[in-house]
Amino acid sequence: MHDRRPLVIHVLYRFNVGGLENGVVNLINHMPAERFRHAVVALADCVPAFCERVRRADVRFISLHKPPGHGIKLYPRLYRLFRELRPAIVHTRNLAALEFTVPALFAGVPARVHGEHGWDTSDPGGTLRKYQLLRRAYSPFVSRYVALSGQIESYLTDRIGIARSRVERICNGVDTLRFRPAVVREPLAGGPFAAPSAVIVGTVGRLQTVKDQVNLVRAVAIARAQGEGGQALRLLIAGDGPQRGEVEAEIRATGIGDITWLAGERSDVPAVMHALDVFALPSRAEGISNTILEAMASGLPVVATEVGGNAELVAAGTTGQLVPAQDPDAMARALLRYTSDAALRHNHGAAGRRRVEHSFSIDNMVTRYTHLYQSLLDVG
């Protein structure tokens, strides 16, 4: 029997561990199954272990194994794929996938949605002229844009020149059942930090330059040297990636190997959050950070750099603190505010949980996307 549910094809660079990819997983898992079907097309590859996070059995995963460079050679293949699957909507994400709105249009896909989640690591501020021109050149092929933060929305309208009527702002949502506060801190299996007196600062993310875990290592080293409060600090870094060697070198250079644990890539992020007292995000650039939302949902105070959409998530002085990027001294001062003040940690963490429940629930995100998809189909 023919399945009459509209098909949404999500196109992204790689379907693997990451905030953008987690957002796609959450959207597919929580969108009512009777409304839409879904498929995921990765320009590189769909990693099987990550695909298992999608709980629906009717989702197809397609890896294109794209070589480096412009994707025009993939246009015929994607054109045939779109003609075969006949999606109602193709939803591309970030600059790497934007060009594939072209074969979608020529294949007769009624609606092409493009989501801007944040900027590429080679252009962390979205300032490079060539990338702005690329976004402008492909804009005629896009039916509607989704901006994940107010900053990105302004970038699209003011810098790229997209009409405001074509841009929808939809923030990420977090699963508040999966991410919830721990009654007491719960040591992570295999971890070295068990002393009740320790204050464990942690971060979760791919080890790459834009995430700048090196800056967090420096901040913890500075805080440790500044009196009794700093002596209680412990650092947990969850994640892996190309900057691991640099992070390890900085740990050795600062002499904090005895209080630092590189926990590697983890699939048990809720358990990681339960093992922390404070969450830190030292990024040089961000869109809307899923990990900040997950930390807030887990009842943790957040110390984050004031970049991208971080200031839209963290209410400074209420749910955490914001510091300049690449300023380890400022981050050290922020961390020290929490080391000797358990009440402050609790109060800011509880306020963060309330903020997520009120403004960043996954149900609200799914409802917004469902309405957007349906409105495009109704127009078509």
Mean pLDDT of the chain: 94
64: which residues sit within 8 A by CB, 6+ positions away? 41, 42, 43, 44, 74, 77, 78
Write down the pLDDT at residue 199.
Answer: 96
Name the CATH architecture for the domain at 7-173+361-379.
3-Layer(aba) Sandwich (3.40)
Give pLDDT tens digits for 77-89: 999 999 999 999 9
Fold observed for domain 199-359? Rossmann fold (3.40.50)
- Which residues does 302 contact at the CB level (< 8 Å), separation at least 6? 278, 279, 280, 281, 292, 295, 296, 313, 314, 319, 320, 321, 348, 352
Q: Where residue 380 falls among pLDDT bands split at 50, 70, 90?
A: low
* Whether the domain at 7-173+361-379 and the domain at 199-359 fall into the same CATH topology: yes
Enumerate the domain spans of the chain. 7-173+361-379, 199-359
104-158: per-residue pLDDT in tens?
999 999 999 999 988 776 777 788 899 999 999 999 999 999 999 898 999 999 9
